[in-house]
Amino acid sequence: MSLLVEGARRTYRARGGPAVAALDGVDLAVDDGELLVVVGPSGSGKSTLLRAIAGLERLDGGRVVIGGRDVTGVPSARRDVAMVFQEAALFPHLSVAANIGIGERARGGRRRAVLARVREVATTLGIDHLLHRAPGELSGGERQRVALARVLIRSPAVCLLDEPLASVDAELRLRARAEIRAVHRELGVPMVHVTHDHTEALAMGDRVAVMHRGRVLQCDTPADLFARPATVEVARALGPLPMNLLPAADGVVVGVRPERVRLRAGDDVVASVEVAGEERLVRVGALLARVTAADTPEVGARVRAEWCPADEHRFDAVTGLRL
Ligand code: ADP
Ligand code: MG
């Protein structure tokens, strides 16, 4: 049951306003048991893409194929796609157990069999002690686990998550990431996880698709995205720190990661020094360097930034494409 999106286009025409190409020709292929993370800034088309896969949004062009079957014109209810939203949509008047089991009951599951299955998936997600609570008595993270349990109990053909960790506390986020990966392993179906957080994207994805203005700029493993960004936007967007991008001769932009910059005695003035854990972020003109505390110069000191030629990334200044 793989997932394929081919040439997906969707344009919104707000009355009186300009047309917005929310999806401007998107191609994606997600294998069985693969977790693809789609990352991009707000407004880049991530939700539109998920909604089109789920059948909640029509496409102006292109197609969606699930398990070899073209479902482009198939209504949402007949696609067997589960989706978790930023705010878990739970029935407030039903218990957690009823919220998890309601779909199975609607599909004709017997009460006791459904309850046993509810207990099972709730245990997997560590929420078995919350089954009698109402959704209003849960934290944001607990509500998202209920939403995930609802996906797990159903075992759909495709699973879509639209920024599910946005309302989860920062300290719980690491654990929540691990839980999503566990749900994914258990389901073994194509999963698409959307986020605007590049750290989350690199940490979670088997592959990561970087979206920008309705297009996928690059889709690669986290290690390859980091080592060989295909465009300046990807170089800027991904990594613990944005890449330094310096205009050079002949219409070339040279990129170098702050981690790869070394500082020697020279003529440029250190503008600022920030503490970043055990390391320091040193700003020299337009350049950012990440160095060990022991190698950190004083603000106002005179330095020269250096790096190995092998650590340089080169981009076309006009197109932004990697050379
Ligand atoms: P993201 O999820 O990456 O933040 P969206 O897919 O929600 O982005 O939106 C992509 C673009 O399409 C945005 O410019 C947004 O304003 C526009 N858009 C989304 N939904 C609608 C709609 N129903 N009507 C008009 N414009 C929309
Ligand atoms: Mg969105």
Q: What is the residue-wise DSSP string for 186-228? A: HH-S-EEEEES-HHHHHHH-SEEEEEETTEEEEEE-HHHHHHS
Q: Find the ligand nearest to 164 CA.
A: 2
What integer pLDDT is reported at residue 315 of this predicted model? 96
Nearest Cα residue to atom 6 of ligand 1 = 45
What integer pLDDT is reported at residue 281 of this predicted model? 95
Ligand 1 centroid to residue 22 C-alpha, Å: 6
Return the structure tokens found at 162. Answer: 């639209």
Ligand 2 centroid to residue 288 C-alpha, Å: 31
CATH number of 3-234: 3.40.50.300
Nearest Cα residue to atom 13 of ligand 1 = 43
Of 215, 223, 233, 225, nearest to 28 (Cα)?
Answer: 215
Nearest Cα residue to atom 5 of ligand 1 = 45
What integer pLDDT is reported at residue 1 of this predicted model? 58
E strand or H helix that includes residue 68: none
Coil, helix or strand at residue 45? coil
For residues 101 and 115, the answer to whether their CB atoms sit within 8 Å is yes
What integer pLDDT is reported at residue 235 of this predicted model? 92
**Ligand 1 pocket: which of 48, 58, 83, 196 to mutate (most atoms <8 Å of CB)?**
48
**In this structure, how many other beta carbons lie within 10 angstroms of the beta carbon of residue 139?**
13
Question: What angle is formed at CA 17 by the lines to CA 14 and CA 18, rounded to 5 degrees?
Answer: 95
Ligand 2 centroid to residue 277 C-alpha, Å: 32
In the chain, DSSP finds a helix count (H) and a strand count (E) of: 8, 17
Ligand 2 centroid to residue 3 C-alpha, Å: 20
Half-sphere exposure of 16 (CA within 13 A, CB side): 0
Architecture of domain 243-316: Beta Barrel (2.40)
For residues 8 and 59, the answer to whether their CB atoms sit within 8 Å is yes
Domain segments of the chain as ranges: 3-234, 243-316
Tens-binned pLDDT, residue by residue, of the chain (323 aa):
599 999 999 999 878 888 899 999 999 999 999 999 999 999 999 999 999 999 999 999 999 999 999 999 999 989 999 998 887 788 999 999 999 999 888 888 899 999 999 999 898 888 999 999 999 999 888 888 899 899 888 889 999 999 988 877 777 788 888 888 888 888 889 999 999 988 899 999 999 999 999 999 999 999 999 899 999 999 988 877 889 999 998 999 999 999 999 999 999 999 999 998 889 999 999 899 999 998 899 999 999 999 999 999 999 999 999 99
Ligand 2 centroid to residue 43 C-alpha, Å: 7
Of 55, 59, 77, 64, nearest to 29 (Cα)?
Answer: 64
Ligand 1 pocket residues where CB is under 6 Å: 12, 14, 20, 22, 40, 42-48
Question: What is the strand order of the sheet 279-284 is part of?
Answer: 287-292, 279-284, 262-276, 302-306
Strand boundaries in 100-195, DSSP class E: 158-162, 191-195
What integer pLDDT is reported at residue 155 of this predicted model? 82
What integer pLDDT is reported at residue 260 of this predicted model? 94
What integer pLDDT is reported at residue 186 of this predicted model? 84
